[in-house]
Amino acid sequence: MNYSELAPAYIRAIAPYQPGKPISELERELGLTGIIKLASNENPLGCSPHAVTAMHEAIKTIALYPDGNGFELKDALAKRYRVAHNQVVLGNGSNDMLELTARAFLSPGDKAVYSDHAFAVYPLATQAVGATGVSVPAINFGHDLEAMRNAAVEQGAKLIFIANPNNPTGTYLSGDALHKFLRALPANILVLLDEAYNEYLPVECRYDSVSWLREFPNLIISRTFSKAYGLAGARVGYALANAQVADMVNRVRQPFNVNSVAQAAAVAALQDEDFVRQTFELNQRGMKQITQGLSKLGLEYIPSFGNFVSFKIKDAARIYRRLLESGVIVRPIASYDMPEYLRVSIGLETENQKFLSALQQILGE
Ligand SMILES: *Cc1c(COP(=O)(O)O)cnc(C)c1O
């Protein structure tokens, strides 16, 4: 028998997430060494040394279950953001927050709205619970908030996903635009504001979304330790929300969804503001280096507010493969309906240079 038929039709219809190619896989395939990965928006500086120390310490009690309530991490987050413990939900990466929010609030027949070219997990999380995704056309690759609100109201959607900045486009919405959007939205439509790249926003672009939670009980903010904090492998993220919303999300959470090593790492990482600043500054310089390099090669890119940039290139799939052969892993984004683009993460200066040199050589062939 065909066992896939035992799954509901909405599960069979899911197009699986395509992760960036791991270095070890490319090593096996091509027998190359010195490969660089600029494909998953990881932190090229690694993580805070304090987080490493905390992880070593936490390993000693690995035989014990983690704190299922994540008290210390919640406490650190609650203090940092001036919210109550019961407004914090911890996740196995912020990906978990997206899935859990969908699971808590959507059932088959419900609708969730997101933008074209938005983060791939929004349709995945929506489809996994049998709900229907409504993808709204973008403006210059960015979210069209007004159209998203209209679509949500017209279609009776329960949840809107917003990524700011968005991955893979790097596009950004100002705090004013978001606040205005929230004010005009009926209060019974939930908004998941995904701020995975929040720490990379230039100072003049920052806004205090956490302070909006009092005004908008339908707002859920999700953040992660995977990007600027450099803990992608540890899998830890969190959501901040109204206590009733947080309570519902917590009910569908696995009791021990964030492991003890990850919790310890996140507590230490959160305190290391110097590391986050260094990360930010390296990214600012690297973004300039890569975008100027792309311009020199005559390539167009979408101005980005994250730690990655998507650029337009003819034969993107072929260029991607040629870059792999040169030991540089970037990300094809055809699955985001952007077949003529590739996304490159900002790396160390030497990595950025290696990427630009390889690209220049390939374009000259
Ligand atoms: C990377 C990313 C995430 C989540 O990553 P986690 O590792 O699961 O925290 C969430 N949203 C966007 C837009 C991202 O790019």
From the CA of 94, give the closest atom in ligand 1.
Answer: 9
Residue 198 has pLDDT above 90, yes or no: yes
What's this model's pTM, rounded to 2 decimal places? 0.97
Q: Tokens 């049998």 appear where?
A: 130
Pocket test for ligand 1, best of 89, 194, 220, 225 (most atoms within 8 A of CB): 194
Residue 179 has pLDDT above 90, yes or no: yes
Contact yes or no for 260/58 (Cβ under 8 A): yes
**pLDDT tens profile 32-63:** 888 999 999 999 999 999 999 999 999 999 99
Select from 271, 291, 322 the last residue of a domain.
271
Mean pLDDT of 333-345: 97
H helices present in 63-198, as ranges: 71-81, 94-105, 121-128, 145-155, 175-184
The reply to whether 58 and 194 lie within a common domain is yes
The reply to whether 41 and 110 lie within a common domain is no
Return the CATH number at 138: 3.40.640.10
Contact yes or no for 108/122 (Cβ under 8 A): no
pLDDT at 15: 85
For residue 250, give every residue at least 6 positions away whose Cβ sits within 8 Å of its Cβ, in sequence order, or none.
89
pLDDT at 20: 84
Mean pLDDT of 72-90: 98
Could you tell me which of 140, 138, 106 has the C-alpha nearest to residue 123? 106
The reply to whether 236 and 319 lie within a common domain is no
The reply to whether 305 and 164 lie within a common domain is no
Contact yes or no for 54/268 (Cβ under 8 A): yes
**pLDDT tens profile 94-146:** 999 999 999 999 999 999 999 999 999 999 999 999 999 999 999 999 999 99
From the CA of 95, give the closest atom in ligand 1.
Answer: 8
Select from 208, 237, 271 the last residue of a domain.
271
Q: How far is the CA of 363 from the centre of ligand 1 (A)?
A: 31
Q: Is the CB of 32 under 6 A from ligand 1?
A: no
Average pLDDT over the chain reads 97
What's 318-364 look like in SS3?
HHHHHHHHCCEECEECHHHCCCCEEEEECCCHHHHHHHHHHHHHHHH
Total domain count, the chain: 2
**pLDDT tens profile 206-254:** 999 999 999 999 999 999 999 999 999 999 999 999 999 999 999 999 9
- Taking CA atoms only, the protein residue closest to ligand 1 atom 12 is 196
Q: Domain of 336? A: 20-46+274-363
The reply to whether 80 and 143 lie within a common domain is yes
Cα separation of 203 and 206, whole Å? 6
pLDDT at 10: 92
The reply to whether 83 and 129 lie within a common domain is yes
Pocket test for ligand 1, best of 173, 224, 225 (most atoms within 8 A of CB): 224
For residue 167, give every residue at least 6 positions away whose Cβ sits within 8 Å of its Cβ, in sequence order, or none.
41, 119, 196, 197, 306, 308
At residue 364, φ and ψ (nearest 5 deg) are -85, -10
Name the pLDDT band for 1 (thresholds 50, 70, 90).
confident
Q: How far is the CA of 168 from the centre of ligand 1 (A)?
A: 11
